Protein backbone atom coordinates (compact mmCIF):
# COMPACT_ATOMS: atom_id res chain seq x y z
CA UNK A 1 0.00 0.00 0.00
CA UNK A 2 1.06 3.57 -0.62
CA UNK A 3 1.06 6.91 1.19
CA UNK A 4 -0.01 10.02 -0.74
CA UNK A 5 0.86 13.70 -0.30
CA UNK A 6 -0.86 16.68 -1.94
CA UNK A 7 -1.01 20.43 -1.37
CA UNK A 8 -2.05 23.74 -2.93
CA UNK A 9 -5.25 22.66 -4.65
CA UNK A 10 -6.85 26.05 -3.95
CA UNK A 11 -10.38 24.66 -4.36
CA UNK A 12 -12.88 27.41 -5.10
CA UNK A 13 -16.23 27.97 -6.77
CA UNK A 14 -14.58 29.74 -9.73
CA UNK A 15 -12.58 26.58 -10.60
CA UNK A 16 -15.04 23.68 -10.98
CA UNK A 17 -12.34 21.80 -12.90
CA UNK A 18 -10.25 21.60 -9.73
CA UNK A 19 -13.20 20.34 -7.71
CA UNK A 20 -13.95 17.68 -10.32
CA UNK A 21 -10.30 16.59 -10.40
CA UNK A 22 -10.14 16.32 -6.60
CA UNK A 23 -13.39 14.35 -6.48
CA UNK A 24 -11.99 11.95 -9.07
CA UNK A 25 -8.75 11.70 -7.08
CA UNK A 26 -10.71 10.78 -3.95
CA UNK A 27 -12.60 8.08 -5.84
CA UNK A 28 -9.81 6.56 -7.93
CA UNK A 29 -6.42 7.15 -6.28
CA UNK A 30 -6.84 7.93 -2.60
CA UNK A 31 -8.70 4.72 -1.62
CA UNK A 32 -5.66 2.71 -2.72
CA UNK A 33 -3.52 4.46 -0.08
CA UNK A 34 -3.21 3.73 3.60
CA UNK A 35 -2.82 7.47 4.32
CA UNK A 36 -3.40 10.80 2.60
CA UNK A 37 -1.52 13.90 3.78
CA UNK A 38 -2.89 17.29 2.66
CA UNK A 39 -0.15 19.85 3.34
CA UNK A 40 -2.11 23.08 3.21
CA UNK A 41 -4.10 25.30 0.86
CA UNK A 42 -6.68 22.65 0.09
CA UNK A 43 -9.06 25.58 -0.19
CA UNK A 44 -8.30 28.94 -1.76
CA UNK A 45 -9.99 30.71 1.15
CA UNK A 46 -11.29 29.55 4.51
CA UNK A 47 -13.22 32.09 6.55
CA UNK A 48 -13.97 29.85 9.51
CA UNK A 49 -15.60 26.50 10.23
CA UNK A 50 -18.87 28.38 10.75
CA UNK A 51 -18.71 29.95 7.29
CA UNK A 52 -18.42 26.95 4.96
CA UNK A 53 -20.01 27.41 1.55
CA UNK A 54 -21.73 24.61 -0.35
CA UNK A 55 -18.56 23.58 -2.18
CA UNK A 56 -16.59 23.34 1.05
CA UNK A 57 -19.37 21.32 2.66
CA UNK A 58 -19.39 18.89 -0.27
CA UNK A 59 -15.61 18.46 -0.19
CA UNK A 60 -15.79 17.89 3.56
CA UNK A 61 -18.34 15.11 3.03
CA UNK A 62 -16.21 13.49 0.33
CA UNK A 63 -13.13 13.44 2.56
CA UNK A 64 -15.22 11.93 5.37
CA UNK A 65 -16.33 9.14 3.05
CA UNK A 66 -12.70 8.41 2.16
CA UNK A 67 -11.76 8.29 5.84
CA UNK A 68 -14.75 6.10 6.69
CA UNK A 69 -13.63 3.65 4.00
CA UNK A 70 -10.26 3.15 5.67
CA UNK A 71 -7.79 5.74 4.36
CA UNK A 72 -6.35 7.82 7.20
CA UNK A 73 -6.46 11.52 6.28
CA UNK A 74 -4.20 14.21 7.75
CA UNK A 75 -4.34 17.97 7.19
CA UNK A 76 -1.80 20.73 7.78
CA UNK A 77 -2.78 24.38 7.58
CA UNK A 78 -1.69 26.47 4.61
CA UNK A 79 -1.49 30.21 4.25
CA UNK A 80 -4.95 30.28 2.61
CA UNK A 81 -6.83 27.97 4.97
CA UNK A 82 -5.08 28.51 8.31
CA UNK A 83 -8.43 29.14 10.07
CA UNK A 84 -9.57 25.55 9.56
CA UNK A 85 -10.42 24.22 13.00
CA UNK A 86 -11.42 21.17 14.98
CA UNK A 87 -15.05 21.32 13.86
CA UNK A 88 -14.04 20.88 10.21
CA UNK A 89 -11.61 18.12 11.23
CA UNK A 90 -14.42 16.23 12.96
CA UNK A 91 -16.80 16.67 10.04
CA UNK A 92 -14.15 15.49 7.56
CA UNK A 93 -12.91 12.63 9.73
CA UNK A 94 -9.32 13.81 9.52
CA UNK A 95 -6.51 14.68 11.93
CA UNK A 96 -4.95 18.14 12.10
CA UNK A 97 -1.14 18.28 12.07
CA UNK A 98 1.24 20.82 13.55
CA UNK A 99 3.58 22.63 11.16
CA UNK A 100 6.23 21.31 11.01
CA UNK A 101 5.78 17.71 12.09
CA UNK A 102 7.60 14.41 11.65
CA UNK A 103 6.07 11.16 10.45
CA UNK A 104 7.69 7.79 9.86
CA UNK A 105 7.73 6.05 6.48
CA UNK A 106 9.21 2.59 6.67
CA UNK A 107 11.82 3.15 9.35
CA UNK A 108 12.76 6.68 8.27
CA UNK A 109 11.63 9.99 9.83
CA UNK A 110 10.17 12.42 7.30
CA UNK A 111 9.67 16.12 8.02
CA UNK A 112 6.46 17.76 6.73
CA UNK A 113 5.56 21.44 6.39
CA UNK A 114 3.36 23.68 4.29
CA UNK A 115 6.51 25.71 3.68
CA UNK A 116 5.48 29.34 3.84
CA UNK A 117 7.33 30.01 7.12
CA UNK A 118 10.58 29.23 5.27
CA UNK A 119 10.16 32.11 2.81
CA UNK A 120 12.15 34.38 5.11
CA UNK A 121 13.46 36.64 2.33
CA UNK A 122 9.91 37.94 1.92
CA UNK A 123 9.99 40.24 4.93
CA UNK A 124 6.55 41.75 4.29
CA UNK A 125 4.90 38.35 4.12
CA UNK A 126 6.67 37.07 7.22
CA UNK A 127 5.48 40.11 9.19
CA UNK A 128 1.93 39.64 7.91
CA UNK A 129 2.06 35.91 8.70
CA UNK A 130 3.10 36.59 12.28
CA UNK A 131 0.21 39.02 12.69
CA UNK A 132 -2.52 37.01 10.98
CA UNK A 133 -1.61 33.71 12.70
CA UNK A 134 -1.69 35.28 16.16
CA UNK A 135 -4.50 33.56 18.14
CA UNK A 136 -5.82 36.97 19.20
CA UNK A 137 -6.07 38.06 15.57
CA UNK A 138 -7.84 34.85 14.59
CA UNK A 139 -10.30 35.26 17.46
CA UNK A 140 -11.00 38.82 16.32
CA UNK A 141 -11.56 37.70 12.72
CA UNK A 142 -13.94 34.95 13.78
CA UNK A 143 -15.96 37.48 15.79
CA UNK A 144 -16.81 39.34 12.57
CA UNK A 145 -19.86 38.52 10.50
CA UNK A 146 -19.31 36.24 7.50
CA UNK A 147 -20.00 39.18 5.18
CA UNK A 148 -17.33 41.23 6.96
CA UNK A 149 -14.85 38.35 6.71
CA UNK A 150 -15.53 38.01 2.98
CA UNK A 151 -14.91 41.73 2.42
CA UNK A 152 -11.71 41.63 4.46
CA UNK A 153 -10.45 38.55 2.62
CA UNK A 154 -11.07 40.17 -0.76
CA UNK A 155 -9.21 43.30 0.34
CA UNK A 156 -6.23 41.31 1.64
CA UNK A 157 -6.16 39.24 -1.56
CA UNK A 158 -6.09 42.33 -3.76
CA UNK A 159 -3.27 43.88 -1.74
CA UNK A 160 -1.29 40.63 -1.80
CA UNK A 161 -1.60 40.19 -5.54
CA UNK A 162 -0.45 43.76 -6.15
CA UNK A 163 2.52 43.36 -3.79
CA UNK A 164 3.58 40.01 -5.27
CA UNK A 165 3.89 41.48 -8.75
CA UNK A 166 6.86 43.51 -7.54
CA UNK A 167 8.63 40.56 -5.87
CA UNK A 168 11.28 38.42 -7.52
CA UNK A 169 11.03 34.64 -7.75
CA UNK A 170 13.92 34.34 -5.29
CA UNK A 171 12.13 36.39 -2.64
CA UNK A 172 8.97 34.29 -2.92
CA UNK A 173 10.80 30.95 -2.74
CA UNK A 174 11.92 29.22 0.45
CA UNK A 175 15.28 30.27 1.87
CA UNK A 176 17.62 27.31 1.41
CA UNK A 177 19.57 28.09 4.57
CA UNK A 178 16.34 27.92 6.58
CA UNK A 179 15.46 24.59 4.97
CA UNK A 180 18.87 23.14 5.83
CA UNK A 181 18.69 24.50 9.38
CA UNK A 182 15.25 22.99 9.96
CA UNK A 183 16.25 19.61 8.55
CA UNK A 184 19.46 19.57 10.58
CA UNK A 185 17.63 20.47 13.80
CA UNK A 186 15.22 17.58 13.28
CA UNK A 187 18.00 15.32 11.95
CA UNK A 188 16.02 14.14 8.90
CA UNK A 189 17.05 13.17 5.40
CA UNK A 190 13.62 13.69 3.87
CA UNK A 191 11.59 16.92 3.84
CA UNK A 192 8.27 17.40 2.03
CA UNK A 193 6.56 20.77 1.62
CA UNK A 194 4.30 22.76 -0.68
CA UNK A 195 3.42 26.47 -0.96
CA UNK A 196 5.93 27.59 -3.61
CA UNK A 197 4.20 25.88 -6.56
CA UNK A 198 7.59 24.66 -7.81
CA UNK A 199 7.36 20.85 -7.88
CA UNK A 200 10.78 19.21 -7.81
CA UNK A 201 13.05 16.86 -5.88
CA UNK A 202 16.21 18.60 -4.65
CA UNK A 203 19.35 16.79 -3.47
CA UNK A 204 20.94 18.17 -0.29
CA UNK A 205 23.53 17.24 2.30
CA UNK A 206 22.26 17.41 5.89
CA UNK A 207 24.43 16.49 8.88
CA UNK A 208 27.00 15.01 6.50
CA UNK A 209 24.43 12.67 4.95
CA UNK A 210 22.63 12.77 1.57
CA UNK A 211 19.12 14.18 1.86
CA UNK A 212 16.21 15.25 -0.32
CA UNK A 213 13.72 18.11 -0.26
CA UNK A 214 10.55 17.29 -2.17
CA UNK A 215 8.36 20.20 -3.25
CA UNK A 216 4.74 19.38 -3.99
CA UNK A 217 3.07 20.95 -7.03
CA UNK A 218 -0.04 23.12 -7.08
CA UNK A 219 -3.17 22.06 -8.95
CA UNK A 220 -3.78 24.46 -11.80
CA UNK A 221 -3.14 23.39 -15.39
CA UNK A 222 -2.44 19.89 -14.07
CA UNK A 223 -2.54 18.05 -10.77
CA UNK A 224 0.32 16.75 -8.65
CA UNK A 225 0.62 13.95 -6.13
CA UNK A 226 3.62 12.50 -4.30
CA UNK A 227 3.36 8.74 -3.80
CA UNK A 228 5.49 6.68 -1.42
CA UNK A 229 5.67 2.96 -0.91
CA UNK A 230 8.31 0.87 0.79
CA UNK A 231 9.51 -0.94 -2.32
CA UNK A 232 9.93 2.02 -4.69
CA UNK A 233 10.28 5.05 -2.41
CA UNK A 234 9.01 8.46 -3.54
CA UNK A 235 7.46 9.22 -6.93
CA UNK A 236 6.37 12.78 -7.80
CA UNK A 237 3.57 12.43 -10.35
CA UNK A 238 1.67 14.95 -12.46
CA UNK A 239 -1.60 14.25 -14.25
CA UNK A 240 -4.09 16.03 -16.49
CA UNK A 241 -7.06 17.73 -14.91
Q: Residues annotated as binding site for Mn(2+)? A: 8, 10, 41, 79, 114, 195, 197
Say if strands 108-113 and 190-193 run parallel, antiparallel, or are unpaired: parallel
Closest CA to 116 of 86, 146, 77, 151: 77
Residue ranges of the annotated binding site are: 8, 10, 41, 79-80, 114, 122, 160, 164, 167, 195, 197
SS (H, E, C) 75-100: EECCCCCCCCCHHHHHHHCCEEECCC
∠ CA(220), CA(225), CA(231), 5° rounding? 165
Residue ranges of the annotated binding site for substrate are: 79-80, 122, 160, 164, 167, 195
For the chain, state the CA radius of gyration: 18
Q: Say what angle helices 123-132 and 135-143 make with each other, to 10 degrees.
A: 70
Amino acid sequence: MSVLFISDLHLQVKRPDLTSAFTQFLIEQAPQATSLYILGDLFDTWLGDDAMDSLQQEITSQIKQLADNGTAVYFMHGNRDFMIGEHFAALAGLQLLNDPCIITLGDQPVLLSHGDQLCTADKDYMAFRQYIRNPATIQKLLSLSVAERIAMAENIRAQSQAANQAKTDEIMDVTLAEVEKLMAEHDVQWFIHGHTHRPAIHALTINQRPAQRIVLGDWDKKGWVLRWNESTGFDLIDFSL
